[in-house]
Amino acid sequence: MIKVLVNGALGRMGRTVVAAVKADADLELVGMVDAFAGEVDGMKVETNLDAALKKFSPEVMVDFTRPDVVFQNVLTALANKVSPVVGTTGLSDDAKEKIREAAEKNQTPAFIAPNFALGAVLMMLTAQKIAKYMPDVEIIELHHDKKLDAPSGTAELTAKMIAEVRPSHKQGHPEEVENLPHVRGADFDGIKIHSVRLPGYVAHQEVIFGGLGQTLTIRHDSTGRDSFMPGVVLACKKVRNLRGLTIGLDKLLD
């Protein structure tokens, strides 16, 4: 069995991860950490990550915490030769590069996924394929109003994947004017990204392609946090067989 510690265990995602780990026959929940003390199903939740990693000696740490602390959490795990499986988004490219260096230095693999829902991964792969033939595209991502970062990691990764296969170009009228700042959304290599934050949503994304006389839209909806759990469990089982830093659940699919 693979020994797993869940960081951020008292959060909405953390509690769902705890339940998923406990339900899987190949995983063993050995410890939980959160910024606040507490317990889940009679099991104590620790507040000091470094001390908990040393105490429980897990092989894998699952992190669903906050963008402002996840980077240090990952470095702490790698320093203890524990493989981080990270679902917290908001890491900069510089932070990811430093994580890659730490993973290689400590000879401990690390894994980051902007989205653990298998359907979302398939949406991104499909969007990349479509973009070869319909290069004019915009992305709309919709999340709950408690999400701290924008755009979502999924939207950013989708844009990066599309940018790999399409020429960079400005979309819309060459002389268009924004009468309200940023009304056309963020710009990633010519791809517009729009972020919606409202109560009632969980995690959703539309990728809209436009061509001569036609449009094509693909959409993924996570209606509950349990949609992410098969991907989290898969990452826990495969991360120790990786090397360095791996980004994206698509890298784990056959």
Residue of 143, 204, 220, 238 with catalytic role: 143
Q: For residue 143, list its beta bridge partners.
A: 197, 203
- Asked if omega into 230 is within 30° of 0 (cis), the reply is no
CA 197/CA 119 separation, integer angstroms: 21
Query: Is 237 one of the annotated active-site residues of the chain?
Result: no
Q: Label each residue of the chain as H, E or C.
A: CEEEEEECCCCHHHHHHHHHHHHCCCEEEEEEECCCCEEECCEEEECCHHHHHHHHCCCEEEECCCCCCHHHHHHHHHHCCCEEEECCCCCCHHHHHHHHHHHHHCCCCEEECCCCCHHHHHHHHHHHHHHCCCCEEEEEEEECCCCCCCCCHHHHHHHHHHHCCCCCCCCCCCCCCCCCCCCCCEEECCEEEEEEECCCCCEEEEEEEEECCEEEEEEEEECCHHHHHHHHHHHHHHHHHCCCEEECHHHHCC
Query: Is 144 one of the annotated active-site residues of the chain?
Result: no
Contact of 195 with 150, CB cutoff 8 Å:
yes
CA 136/CA 171 separation, integer angstroms: 7
Residue of 55, 147, 194, 220 with catalytic role: 147
Active-site residues, by number, are 143, 147
